[in-house]
Amino acid sequence: MSEYKRSASSLDALNQWVLEVAQLAKPDRIHWCDGSDVENDALVAQMLADGTLIKLNERTHPDSYLHRSHPDDVARVEHLTFVCTSDRDDAGPNNHWMAPDQARQQMKSLFDGCMKGRTMYVVPYCMGPIDSPLSRCGVEITDSPYVVANMRIMTRMGAAALARIEREGSFVKGLHSTGELDPDRRFIMHFPEDLEIQSFGSGYGGNALLGKKCHALRIASHQARKEGWLDEHMLILGIENPKGETHYVAAAFPSACGKTNLAMLIPPEGYRKDGWKISTIGDDICWMRPGKDGRLYAINPEAGFFGVAPGTSEKSNPNALASIQQNTIFTNVAVTDDNQPWWEGLDKRVPVTDWKGNAYDASATHPAAHPNSRFTVSAKECPSYSPHAEDAQGVPISAIVFGGRRASLVPLVFEARDWTHGVLVGAAMGSETTAAATGAVGVMRRDPMAMKPFCGYNFADYFDHWLSFDKPGAKLPKIFHVNWFRKGEGGDFLWPGFGDNMRVLEWMLKRVDGAAGAVETPIGNLPDPVDINLDGVELTAEAREKLFGYDRAGWASEFEHIGEYLQEYGARMPDALNGEQTRITHELSIG
Ligand code: TSX
Ligand code: MN
């Protein structure tokens, strides 16, 4: 078949689908997005005119805008998010499932006429560097100009993506409408067998920017399994040592553990003086696949950061703060008297307007910014953005890090003995909830590989997929577990965290290079504290014991719970993982 014929047919498929959607949704206009500055300027002007965007202080925050969402539409809706596979067991106990026919019928009636009076935007996008073989394309149809503006920042959107789709012929179809924003008529449907997403009734990021969680995580998880790669909820960072060698690390954490902060970490002064440098590849999603040399090579499929604003400050994340001084869309933050964006934890000023647009003063009892308020900004604005982030072949991963927020039991860091043990460490991950997430504080939630809300198929099959990477010729990264949140008896954090986490990263790289020993225990290899650089860190005796020690009785109880949790995934659980869990439980019981 000629090149011409193939490209014609893939565009035909796209045109045909756009036509079908238009006939159903009945928009007044159709606009094909090219991603140009002219197009974006016109969209912004239109959103300023109708109040969708509010211009922020041009002197302090040039080209930056505030969007206030509907007050009932401020977060992802997991209870309304479905994976629609023909066989229910393929979605697994970790997903809400609906039969594809029923889901399609239900969505068809919601989309019927929903774009009357509105413009329908056709948004071609590429997840990952436009020239990377690891990247994957999609097209989002949406009636929200706010979604278009955000997709332009978060993905490679427009003409170049359309050209790649034309070449490749396959793309993920995403259909989105904000609808009437009725919380009872809101659904996020995934059809992985058809590479399709349908999202109705929400304009919020994770529900509406379909390239991100819906495509790059849930749908891509199916493609990854089928094609032999890993689709993960991980940040990627580079660590350059004084010799000029760079190692790359991918890390998965549940929400509220500071993933974006770790991705943009600034090393302590002593490290900087010695020549250590951290660079950021991504803060949320990682696609990785084995290269010819057997190592895993990773790309960040995203082009920007959709970060939580509250808590972002000069102390917690100077690189993020520098990134969002210009060219940023803020969603649901508060505003100061001189029209600057503001959120809890930024600084000591008191804003005059809260996230709903109401007057605010120091006597208020509610937070001024919504706890899930966000910034959307291009990764190119980040001072630590890696020059290798756009490398088509990806970056080689030396270590994978899992982590969670655990006040007790779990030490600062340990290393998995081997790949199978590491997969168990990831599968057993858990974190204690913070008020921001649920209202219930300190409740343990299991969140395997931080993928609980994002793995589009049965977790048992997902663990099996992970195990399958351990094969002859593979040069797999070492796997570690960290906990920045261990507390003492007095309730205080024992580890300083933030930039000082560099010390833990350095130990990991020593292990990777075979330059440090470790203390072998049933839960994995613990550092000998002398191998961790603690210059300038004051730790009490209690802190040393709890951060670097190992409590056999406590871990025996933890492993009982892990065993019970993994049983929820039933008969499809891989024997190797059950075996590893049983073996460690036994070792813990005999001391
Ligand atoms: O992001 C965090 N990281 C990772 C940084 C690279 N946070 C913030 C979590 C909320 C998103 C942390 N919070 C970290 C951490 O390592 N550690 C802690 C706990 C902590 C909080 C405050 C102090 C120490 C530890 N100390 C003072 O405030 C003085
Ligand atoms: Mn995330």
Q: Are 280 and 264 in contact (CB under 8 A)?
A: yes
> 318 CB less than 6 Å from ligand 1?
no
SS (H, E, C) 477-509: CEEEEECCCCECCCCCECCCCHHHHHHHHHHHH
- Looking up tokens 């020593």 gives 510
Reference 374, options 46, 74, 149, 154; nearest CA is: 74
Give the number of whichever ligand sits closest to the CA of residue 447. Answer: 2
Q: Are 457 and 90 in contact (CB under 8 A)?
A: yes
CA 177–ligand 2 middle distance (angstroms): 22
591 pLDDT exceeds 90? no
Q: Whose CA is nearest to atom 7 of ligand 1?
A: 258
CATH topology of domain 12-52+75-228: Phosphoenolpyruvate Carboxykinase; domain 1 (3.40.449)
Question: What are the Cα distances from residue 219, in Å, to 64, 66, 98, 485, 566?
Answer: 32, 30, 15, 32, 24
CA 182–ligand 1 middle distance (angstroms): 37
Q: Are 318 and 310 in contact (CB under 8 A)?
A: no
Give the number of whichever ligand sits closest to the CA of residue 482. Answer: 1
Q: Which atom of ligand 1 is nearest to the CA of 262?
A: 6
- pLDDT 10s digits, 375-424: 999 999 999 999 999 999 999 999 999 999 999 999 999 999 999 999 99
Question: What are the Cα distances from residue 33, in Å, to 16, 158, 455?
Answer: 17, 6, 30
CA 451–ligand 2 middle distance (angstroms): 9
> 253 CB less than 6 Å from ligand 1?
no
110 pLDDT exceeds 90? yes
> 261 CB less than 6 Å from ligand 1?
yes
Reference 135, options 363, 307, 298; nearest CA is: 298
Q: What was the pLDDT predicted at 434?
A: 85
For 135, which DSSP code?
A: -
> 276 CB less than 6 Å from ligand 1?
no
Tokens for 428, please give them: 């057993």
Q: What was the pLDDT predicted at 553?
A: 97
- Give, in words, the CATH class of 232-303+387-589: alpha beta
Sheet architecture: strand order including 65-67:
54-55, 65-67, 329-331, 374-378, 304-308
Q: Which atom of ligand 1 is nearest to the CA of 256?
A: 11
What DSSP string describes 520-569?
EETTEEEPPGGGS--TT----HHHHHHHH---HHHHHHHHHHHHHHHHTT
Q: How confident is the model at residue 315 (pLDDT cuts 50, 70, 90)?
A: very high
Helix (H, G, I), strand (E, B) or coil at 413: strand
Q: Which atom of ligand 1 is nearest to the CA of 495?
A: 25
Give start-end residues of each CATH 3.90.228.20 domain in the chain. Answer: 232-303+387-589
111 pLDDT exceeds 70? yes
Share of the chain above pLDDT 70, in %: 98
Amino acid identity of residue 298, one-letter, is A
7 pLDDT exceeds 90? no
> 502 CB less than 6 Å from ligand 1?
no
Reference 270, options 499, 553, 2, 493; nearest CA is: 499
Reference 498, options 314, 347, 251; nearest CA is: 314
3 pLDDT exceeds 50? no
Q: Are 98 and 192 in contact (CB under 8 A)?
A: no
Q: Whose CA is nearest to atom 24 of ligand 1?
A: 496
> 311 CB less than 6 Å from ligand 1?
yes
- Looking up tokens 């793309």 gives 171
Strands 341-342 and 230-232: unpaired
Q: How confident is the model at residue 440 (pLDDT cuts 50, 70, 90)?
A: confident
Q: What was the pLDDT predicted at 5?
A: 46
Q: Considering 114, 126, 257, 286, which one is annotated as catalytic?
A: 257
Reference 400, options 295, 529, 557, 553; nearest CA is: 295
CA angle (96 as vertex; 562, 105 as ends), nearest 5: 170
Tokens for 56, please give them: 């922020």
> 265 CB less than 6 Å from ligand 1?
yes
| Averaged confidence pLDDT in the chain | 96
CA 233–ligand 2 middle distance (angstroms): 6
- pLDDT 10s digits, 32-65: 999 999 999 999 999 999 999 999 999 999 999 9
Count CB neighbours of 158 within 10 A: 21
Share of the chain above pLDDT 90, in %: 96
183 pLDDT exceeds 50? yes
Give start-end residues of each CATH 3.40.449.10 domain in the chain. Answer: 12-52+75-228
Q: Whose CA is nearest to atom 26 of ligand 1?
A: 496
Residue 257 designated active-site: yes
> 431 CB less than 6 Å from ligand 1?
no
Question: What are the Cα distances from residue 417, in Å, to 107, 147, 501, 518, 589?
Answer: 47, 44, 22, 11, 19
Neighbours of ion ligand 2 (CB under 5 A): 284
Q: Are 413 and 507 in contact (CB under 8 A)?
A: yes
- pLDDT 10s digits, 128-162: 999 999 999 999 999 999 999 999 999 999 999 99
The Cα 73–Cα 502 span in angstroms is 37
CA 344–ligand 1 middle distance (angstroms): 15
Q: How confident is the model at residue 6 (pLDDT cuts 50, 70, 90)?
A: very low
The Cα 347–Cα 57 span in angstroms is 17
The Cα 409–Cα 5 span in angstroms is 62
Count CB neighbours of 408 within 10 A: 15
Q: Which DSSP helix (H) or strand (E) runs through 55?
A: strand 54-55
Q: Are 353 and 335 in contact (CB under 8 A)?
A: yes
CA 577–ligand 2 middle distance (angstroms): 26
Give strand pairing partners of 287. Answer: 231, 299
> 256 CB less than 6 Å from ligand 1?
yes
Question: What are the Cα distances from residue 531, in Å, to 161, 245, 499, 510, 519?
Answer: 48, 20, 18, 9, 11
Q: How confident is the model at residue 1 (pLDDT cuts 50, 70, 90)?
A: very low
CA angle (208 as vertex; 360, 341 as ends), nearest 5: 25
Reference 259, options 240, 279, 236; nearest CA is: 236
Q: Whose CA is nearest to atom 2 of ligand 1?
A: 258
Provide the H-helix boundaries in 385-536: 419-427, 435-438, 459-467, 502-512
Q: What was the pLDDT predicted at 152?
A: 98
Q: What is the average pLDDT across 355-365?
A: 97
497: left (phi over 0), alpha (psi -120 to 50) or beta: left
Give the number of whichever ligand sits closest to the CA of residue 263. Answer: 1
Give the number of whichever ligand sits closest to the CA of residue 318. Answer: 1
The Cα 396–Cα 228 span in angstroms is 16
Q: Which of 260, 344, 432, 498 to mutate to test the pocket of ligand 1 (most atoms within 8 A of CB)?
A: 498
Q: Which of 280, 316, 344, 487 to mutate to test the pocket of ligand 1 (most atoms within 8 A of CB)?
A: 316
117: left (phi over 0), alpha (psi -120 to 50) or beta: left
> 496 CB less than 6 Å from ligand 1?
yes
- pLDDT 10s digits, 524-581: 999 999 999 999 999 999 999 999 999 999 999 999 999 999 999 999 999 999 999 9
The Cα 589–Cα 591 span in angstroms is 6
Count CB neighbours of 169 within 10 A: 14
- pLDDT 10s digits, 211-228: 999 999 999 999 999 999
CA 255–ligand 2 middle distance (angstroms): 7
CA 284–ligand 2 middle distance (angstroms): 5
CA 561–ligand 2 middle distance (angstroms): 26
What DSSP string describes 136-193?
EEEEEEES-HHHHHHHHHHSEESHHHHHHHHHH---EEEEEE-TT--TTS-EEEEEGG
The Cα 557–Cα 157 span in angstroms is 49
CA 407–ligand 1 middle distance (angstroms): 13
Give the number of whichever ligand sits closest to the CA of residue 258. Answer: 1
pTM beyond 0.95: the answer is yes
- pLDDT 10s digits, 455-504: 999 999 999 999 999 999 999 999 999 999 999 999 999 999 999 999 99
Q: Which of 239, 261, 265, 501 to mutate to test the pocket of ligand 1 (most atoms within 8 A of CB)?
A: 261
- Describe the crossing of helices 3-25 and 159-168 by its angle, rounded to 10 degrees: 120
> 501 CB less than 6 Å from ligand 1?
yes
Give the number of whichever ligand sits closest to the CA of residue 431. Answer: 1
Q: Which atom of ligand 1 is nearest to the CA of 265?
A: 6
436 pLDDT exceeds 80? no
- pLDDT 10s digits, 17-31: 999 999 999 999 999
Helix (H, G, I), strand (E, B) or coil at 415: strand
4 pLDDT exceeds 90? no
Q: What was the pLDDT predicted at 435?
A: 74
Tokens for 63, please give them: 């080209």
> 498 CB less than 6 Å from ligand 1?
yes
The Cα 227–Cα 451 span in angstroms is 19
> 482 CB less than 6 Å from ligand 1?
no
